[in-house]
Structures are given as structure tokens and as C-alpha cells.
Structure 1
Amino acid sequence: MYFTTEIKVSSASTQNLQSPQAAKSLLVVAGDREQIKRYASDLKGLPLKLVRAMDSGPAALKYVASYPIDVVLCDSSLVDTDLIAFLRGLKQNPSSRQIPVVITAESADRRMLLQAVSMGCAGLILKPYQGATLHKHMSTALNMAAGNEQEAGGLRQAKDLLASGHVDDAIREFEDIVRTQDQSEAYYMQGLEHLRKGEYGEAIACFHKAVQINTLFAEAYEAMARAFEAKGDRQSSRLFLKKAAQVHAEFQRLEQVKELFVEVMAEEPDAENPFLLLGNKLYNGRDFQGAAQAYENAIKLNPNDAWARFHLARVRWMLGHRNKAVELLESCLAMRPDFPEAQRLLIQVKNTSWATIDTERL
């Protein structure tokens, strides 16, 4: 079930946005008709075009999977799902995970705030609110949407070349895109550090950038697969489809890391080093790559944390980085000579070949 309305657009107000030429499409998801009317009043003057207002979260998710939407405005009056489940649903779909979302809600606890920020939500506004507050957060969302367009500009040009039959030129354009380093994980980790500090605006920007990069690489690899298929090169096509699948899998892994960190922050708000707790959770879940990055962040936060060095050494050893593990354990023991766990692990690392390691027991 859904109902629709429109928000009038005033081009005069677009001067502060990155892309003032075009109004952005807005989807409103709310079960309260009075709230819809309030939105229409508050958003006058912003460069927004036709709105579809829906009261069902699942229906809205289906809609954004089929139609291009630039910004979503969502209220806690959803009739059949909660806000966080709706946000999570948007992130699970590659076609909608970049869409900036602004939320209005009657209340929000610390966990909900952390979850919303970690999902790149452009704003979480508690009711009652001032119209200027919504206006401000929607302006932020519009800037994020404009950034999405700029980021995807080269990809769009390459796809146009492919569609027009210029396959070799398109492949060269796609290769230029994926030749740059995929820094999505670095942005995720920066976002977690900002989240720890309570720097929510910076955290949102980092998480959004990470999703932008991940989506760009996945789409480029998928398009390259189609291009090589058009050339009759099935082997290369399969290779790039596999690369695209790996990028999607990495997105899921990093999202899980982020959710675990939010869990730590919500459950242990006074933890001196939440990255150490995150690393332990990832280690127990056997995500050794994620655990290593978390322990690295724990050491950056507290260089004198011997336990963080011990745990990182253990993970590095399991990942096959023996020399790095030895270096970490020796520095750990230099800080704290009476550290029997580190002493035992150092002996084991030096005297055990990788082939004999039983990772289930570590």
C-alpha cells in the first residue's frame, strides 16, 4: 500500500549544492499522513522533484530496486518494519546502498544512533524538530547524492561506449577505473575511528565514501565481463564476473565488521579500547583479516597495549606473516617481560612450521 504526493521545487535554492542543474528524486517512507504534509512544508525551496510516499518498508525497498531514487526521507511511523531494518535492507541491495537517507523519529537510544550513523545515514532527527533542522540534513543528503553522480561519471561514460558498440574503448575506460587502488576498507576503518570519537558527520562521510568505491569497482568489473562477453572472450568475462563477486563479498564482510563495532560501542560504552574488543569478536568469528585490521587500530589508539600486540601477532602468524608476528611478540615482551602467553606464543611461532599449525586450537 502506498500514497503519493509532490513537493514543489524552487531552483533558486540550489546555489549551495554541488549539482544545482537538476532536481533530485525523493522517496518518502512514512505511515503518518500528517508527517508527509509536514515534510512537504519543510522541504519547500530544496531542489527535489516528484515524491512517492509509501507507508511500507518492504514495498519501498522493492520500489528503489526498480526505479532510480536519489534521496530517501524516512519516518519512524513505518507500518510494517523498524527504521534500522529498513536501512539494512537498502544497504543489502547494490542498486540502493549508496542512496543517502534522512530519518525522523520519536526517540532514539545510543545503539540506534550508532547503527544509523554506521549505515551512512545523512541525518537522524528527533521529533519534534524545527523545519530548518530537516532542511539542513536534507541539504547534506542532496550533496551526497550529487557526489554519487560525480563519482559514477567515468563509469557512465564507459557504459555508454559499450552500449554504442565501442567495446575496446569501453574496456580501456573500465580498466582505468579499476586500476586505482580500492580504498574502501581504509575508509571503513577511518569511519569506525570517527564513530568511536563521536564524530558522526565525519563517520558518515567515510562510510558513504567506502560504499561509493565498493559500488564503483563492482559495477566496473560487471561491465567489463559484459564487454569481454561481447568480444567472445568467455575466459576474461568469467574472470571479471569473479572479481565483481569478490567485491560484493568484501562489502558484506566490511558491513559485518561495522555492525560488530556498533555492538561493542553499544554494549561497552566506557571501553578504553573498543578496537581490541572488535578484534576479539572478529577473531572468534574467524575473520582473521578483519581482526588484524581491528588490532592495528587498537595499537594506534594505545601503542602501549601489550595485549593488542599479542593478539595481532597471533593473527599475523595465522595469516602466514611469521616475521611480522615475531617482531610484534618481541616488542610486546620488551614492554612487558612478564607476559607468559606472549613468551609461549613466541616459542611456538619460531619452532612451528605453518603446515603443522592447528588453527582451530589457536
Structure 2
Amino acid sequence: MSLKGNIGILVGEPMPQVQQIIGKILADNGYEKVRFAEDHSGVIDILRQRETDVTMLDFKMATENTFALLDDILLDRHLYRHPILLLGNKAPIGLIDDAMRLGARDYLNKPFTPYLLMVRLEKILFGAPPKVIKRTAKAGTESAHLGEEVEALPAPHIASQQALAKKLFLDGHKLLKQNYPEKALKKLAAAARVNTLFPEAYKALAEVFRSQGDLARSAQFLSKAAETHAWLGQNDKAKEAFTLSCKVDPACPNPFKTVADHMTGHMIQREVARAYEQALKLTPKDPSVRVALSRSYMESGDKDKAAETLAPIAGKGEIPEDMQHVIMQVRRNDTNGAGRRRQRFSMDGIGPYSGEERRRAKRIPLAEYSARLPHRDDSFQVFDVCALGISFKHGGESFEIGQKLSFDLLTLDGPRAKKVKAVVRRLTPLVVGCELVGLNNKQRDAFTKFLPKQED
């Protein structure tokens, strides 16, 4: 029996067809010690034999009767550390959050791909042990999530598999340094088979192929290392591996987008969006990442974020036809909903104003003004302005949320305010909305003078 064959897996699933599918996926990946249960009592009976290392539970089975099955497992003094992977069918996000707070480790939507199931399963088995809460109260009580925090240590046979993977890696790395690439290749490949979530092994394999002049295979394994770091939540290391792979192959895939693409439709939507957000930080000029992130925001009902994400590529022919309605809706709001637009551009953190200062927070259309930014070819036509915020037409040029700007405010008669500091707070296909920050007295006086006074 292989080392993976020693790992006990329980599948709590009422549907025989689903049991067969999961069983085949596990068998194809070397897991031989798999048992099945169709109901609550069957799950508990098997777990009490204490031969199971991880349990996959049907979400409905796990959560019915106020999370009764989760309580029976995670309140047990022998099982409270036991890892549970929930398998649902687009379960309500509130219920998923409750189940995770009560101690479940992860959630997947059915149907899932074999690759995604194995990645999430092996992250639970071979990833860094998380902290878990030793609960003392049942679900539905105020203290259900409270208790002592303890470390979820792996079983000895799982720890031995991790140790074997590390030994194979170190042996292979030593052989590579001694200039025995073929022998190193065998050791490193074995390390990756024992622990598929072992990015250092993939990096070493990339080095083997680089030493043999096979740059294509080298880039392939560097990309695999970057993706594995991303799956493990090691974002900085994923970026480093991506940078290395791009030096070999400029067309290498964005690891965070690869992960998010696998997750789409199968995992909690906010986790998918978080992965795409990391992808956008890594390759902000990639339109496919913007489109994917925008779709993710639309799935979660956040149309404003979806539109902000697409704004920098609006009018460039890179937005799919089925996403055009997102841009069109924002354009209608910009052109026809002036009142709503001004409210939308109100800057966060503005306190209430009264009397003479109140007019300063009102947004005044100022089409005759423009903003001149350093290192930009053209000035930008101002859309509206106040003493606290300004928006201007970006003309298709790229800006980012949170970007810090410095600009001169101009009229035909010359500058009204110089080196005004601002932070980008909002993007639409038409305008950039900025919060003014750190105004000195001269700049504040200039803004106050050119804004027409409004009667309260």
C-alpha cells in the first residue's frame, strides 16, 4: 500500500452516484482507504473507530437539524480537531459561513472538477496546520464559536509522508548541486508525487530542466510552483515565482487567475473574487483578468465594483458583448442621473457641514476647467468639483483605485491651484473621482473662491 493509501478518508454522501464519482477520483490519485456513509449515524459510527484522517460531508447532511452532525463531530473530545470538507450545491452563503465558524475547514460546490477536489483535499492534509477552536457549546447558542484555540496537528502517517517528500526534495537538490541532473530529476519528481502541493520541488525541477537547456519545461515548472504557492495562500512567493517564470516565458500564466478560474462556480464567491483581485494586482494591464474579476463581482451582486473594474478598458474593444450592459448602465447613470452621480462621488469620511461651509461640499459642474497631471500628454476636462473632491474625464487613460495624484487646476486664464494632491476613489467609463487631501491654505482659498456660492 502506498503512503497515500494509508490515509483514511470518509465520504458522507447520501447519493450512490456521487459516492462512485468521488471514490473514483480518490482511487485515481492513490487514495485506497476510503469509506462511505449515507447518513448521520453512519458517519458517526465510522469516525468513532478513529481510523479517519479527513471527512468529506454532504452540506445538507452536515447542517440539517441546526448543524447536529457538525456538533456531534466537533464537540467530541476525540474529534474536535477532525478536518471536514463540505460538499454542497450552491448553499446559502450565511449557512456556509456558520458551518465554517463552527469548525468546517473548506467548502466546494458540486459538481466539482477532480483537480479542484484534490487540491482542496491535499491542502487540508498536507498544508500548514491551522488553529482550530475547541468548542464547548452547540450550534445556535451565542457561545457556539467560542472555546480554547488549539493547533490541528497531522496524524503520524501524514507527517511521515510530509517528511518523506522533504527528504526526497533535499536528496534531489543535493544531486543537482553535484551536477547529477538525471538522478536529481527522479528524486524531485518523486517528492512532487508524494506531496503535490510542494512548490519548492517544482522550482527545483525547473532548475533541472534549465541546466539541460530545456527552457520551455523550466518555465512550465516555475509556473506550477507559482500556482501552488497561490493555492497555499503564499501570495508573495507566488509573485516571485511568477516573475522568474516570466523571464523565461513572457507569456506564462498569471497564477492567481489560474487558481480563480478553477475556483469559479465551485467555491465561495468572495474567495473567487479575492483570487481575481490578486491576479489584477499582478497583471493590471491584462484585460482578461479585469473581465473575469468583473464577472465575479456581478455574480455577488456588486455592480458598482464590476463597472469600476471594467472602466479602464472601456471603449477599447476588450469587453465581451455579454458584459457591455455593465458599462452601458454606468454610462446612463453618468449622463442621465446627475443627482445620483453626485451622491455617488461623495467622498468617504466627509463630516457634516453647516452654514457658510456647507456649500463647499456641494458638487458644481465646471466644464471650463481642466486638470493637468505630470507625465501625461493632455490635460483632463473637469467634470465637477468641490473643496473636498473633484472628478474629471479620463479619456480612456488608465487610473487605479487608491492611486495618488498631483495636479494643477487650470482655466483658460491660467492655473487656479498648483500641485493639488488627491487620491482616486472612484472609476467609471466616463470619469475619475478623487478625494482632495492635504490642501494648504492657498489651495483651499483658491477652491473656495472659484466655487459659486449656493443658497441653503
TM-score band, normalised by the shorter chain?
A: 0.3 to 0.5
TM-score, normalized by length of structure 1? 0.34
Q: Which structure has more RCO (C-alpha within 8 Å, separation ≥ 6)?
A: 1
Whichever of the two has the greater Rg, that structure is: 2
Instruction: Return the structure number with greater strand share.
Output: 2
